[in-house]
């Protein structure tokens, strides 16, 4: 770093960055748009970006009732992977992972992608057989996945406990080396800046209070900042999707649950992979700041509160120490929660609704962050062309009446 850049950095830091240009505009909402996306998280911002870039839609707005990225995008544990069992899921998440791999260059914004590998542990004979089945299915779809024995797990994660004298001994693991983590808020900021540069209006502190429908089609939105006319609306509001859909007279087959996570005090690097266990029900990675990022499953009750029960925290701590006794000396630094919307088959809904001009992207449950660019890419196609892309065609709302479900509960048994 040059002497000039050091003094420049110090000057701006002492001046609280006054005079720095904004990364995106903060416009007043216009009276009319071609498309309005409701929800300023990663999926909504990605949808707006690809609408402008891939489909040349001129007048696009993103409405966020709070601040940009203040919902689940900023409250997840940043894991990225595509090792899903069913073909439909595998193709969708693999598209997202491929987009992630080039996203920093695409957006000219460092999303801090770290493909450090994701391990899913096996603790009994059933786990081993299920793991073998999944790895073969994943590889048949052209996606990287491999099986490790306990010694291989120890090689990848030296601090893990592979002793046979524990309640849930580690018998092996599957590994996707291309999996890993990315900086969640950087993904939102990168998409926001890139969308803004293409003319998208990002309107924060603008809550949708009603959806105007006439003769079976969307006419506009009622918001806390006035009425906005539009003929196309995309609902991308994660845990509150059912609330918005109800404004259009739709009852969605989703439930909203709190999902908790926490981080430890920072320590020197000891864990260079993401480790997940469905059986003991915990997952953990280490951030670039040295904190252990820890999570487990959703709370059993329905809620819109961004906090959960202590029981989940207690159980995941016990599971973590089963795998990593060395972490027993650490203190937890902070804890938070998000609201996830879960479908009966643990797969999302991405497509059209019975209301003409109204589109829905929801039900990602615990897997939303890893799908962000792929979700936005496919949803933008659906809105622009008024028909789903082949990637999201299986994830329609109609599958709950036809019975063509995509059961990914095995992939989402531990939230990640």
How many whole angstroms separate alpha carbon 416 and alpha carbon 411? 9
Instruction: Tell me the C-alpha to C-alpha distance, in Å, between residue 68 and each of 186, 189, 282.
Output: 11, 8, 29
260, 337 contact by CB (below 8 A): yes
Tokens of 254: 């989703």
Helices marked H in 275-347: 310-323
Helices marked H in 102-217: 103-107, 125-140, 150-156, 184-197
Task: Please give the full DSSP string across 263-274, using - where no structure is assigned.
Answer: EE---SS---SE
User: Which residues are paired to 262 by β-bridges?
Assistant: 294, 335
Instruction: Tell me the C-alpha to C-alpha distance, in Å, between residue 85 and each of 128, 131, 350, 410.
Output: 15, 10, 19, 8
Residue 318: partners with Cβ closer than 8 Å, 6 or more residues away: none
Walk along the chain (416 residues) and give the pLDDT tens digit of each residue. Answer: 565 566 676 777 777 667 778 889 999 999 999 999 999 999 999 999 999 999 999 999 999 999 998 888 888 899 999 999 999 999 999 999 999 999 999 999 999 999 999 999 999 999 999 999 999 999 999 999 999 999 999 999 999 999 988 889 999 999 999 999 999 999 999 999 999 999 999 999 999 999 999 999 999 999 999 999 999 999 999 999 999 999 999 999 999 999 999 999 999 999 999 999 988 889 999 999 999 999 988 888 888 888 778 888 888 899 999 999 999 999 999 988 889 999 999 999 999 999 999 999 999 998 899 999 999 999 999 999 999 999 999 999 999 999 999 998 866 545 45
Q: Reduced to 3 states, what is the DSSP secondary structure of residue 381?
A: helix
Tokens of 196: 């803004």
Residue 213: partners with Cβ closer than 8 Å, 6 or more residues away: 219, 248, 249, 355, 358
How many whole angstroms separate alpha carbon 354 and alpha carbon 57? 23
């Amino acid at each position: 770093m040059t002497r000039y850049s050091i003094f420049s950095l110090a000057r701006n830091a002492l001046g609280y960055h006054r005079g720095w240009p904004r990364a995106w505009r903060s416009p007043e909402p216009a009276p009319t748009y071609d498309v309005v996306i409701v929800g300023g998280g990663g999926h909504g911002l990605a949808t707006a970006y690809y609408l402008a870039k891939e489909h040349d839609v001129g007048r696009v707005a993103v409405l966020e009732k709070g601040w940009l990225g203040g919902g689940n995008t900023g409250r997840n544990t940043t894991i990225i992977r595509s090792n899903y069992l069913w073909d439909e899921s595998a193709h969708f998440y693999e598209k997202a992972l491929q987009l992630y791999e080039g996203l920093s260059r695409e957006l000219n914004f460092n999303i801090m992608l770290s493909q450090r590998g994701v391990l899913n542990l096996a603790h009994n004979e059933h786990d081993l057989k299920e793991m073998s089945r999944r790895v073969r299915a994943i590889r048949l779809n052209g996606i990287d996945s491999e099986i490790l024995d306990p010694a291989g797990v120890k090689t990848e994660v030296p601090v893990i406990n592979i002793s046979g004298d524990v309640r849930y001994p580690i018998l092996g693991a599957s590994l996707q080396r291309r999996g890993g983590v990315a900086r969640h808020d950087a993904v939102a900021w990168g998409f926001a800046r890139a969308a803004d540069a293409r003319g998208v209006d990002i309107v924060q502190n603008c809550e949708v209070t009603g959806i105007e429908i006439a003769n079976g089609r969307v006419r506009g939105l009622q918001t806390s900042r006035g009425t906005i006319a539009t003929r196309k609306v995309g609902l991308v509001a994660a845990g509150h999707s059912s609330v918005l859909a109800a404004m259009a007279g739709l009852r969605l087959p989703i439930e909203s649950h709190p999902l908790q996570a926490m981080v430890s005090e920072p320590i020197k690097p000891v864990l260079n992979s993401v480790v997940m266990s469905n059986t003991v029900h915990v997952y953990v990675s280490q951030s670039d700041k040295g904190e252990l990022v820890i999570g487990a499953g959703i709370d059993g009750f329905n809620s819109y509160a961004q906090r959960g029960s202590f029981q989940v925290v207690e159980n995941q701590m016990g599971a973590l120490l089963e795998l990593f006794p060395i972490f027993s000396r650490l203190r937890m630094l902070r804890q938070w929660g998000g609201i996830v919307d879960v479908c009966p088959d643990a797969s999302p809904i991405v497509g059209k609704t019975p209301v003409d001009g109204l589109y829905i992207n929801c039900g990602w449950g615990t897997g939303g962050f890893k799908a962000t660019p792929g979700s936005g890419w496919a949803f933008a196609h659906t809105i622009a062309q008024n028909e789903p892309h082949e990637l999201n065609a299986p994830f329609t709302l109609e599958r709950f009446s036809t019975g063509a479900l995509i059961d990914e509960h095995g992939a989402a048994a531990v939230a990640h």
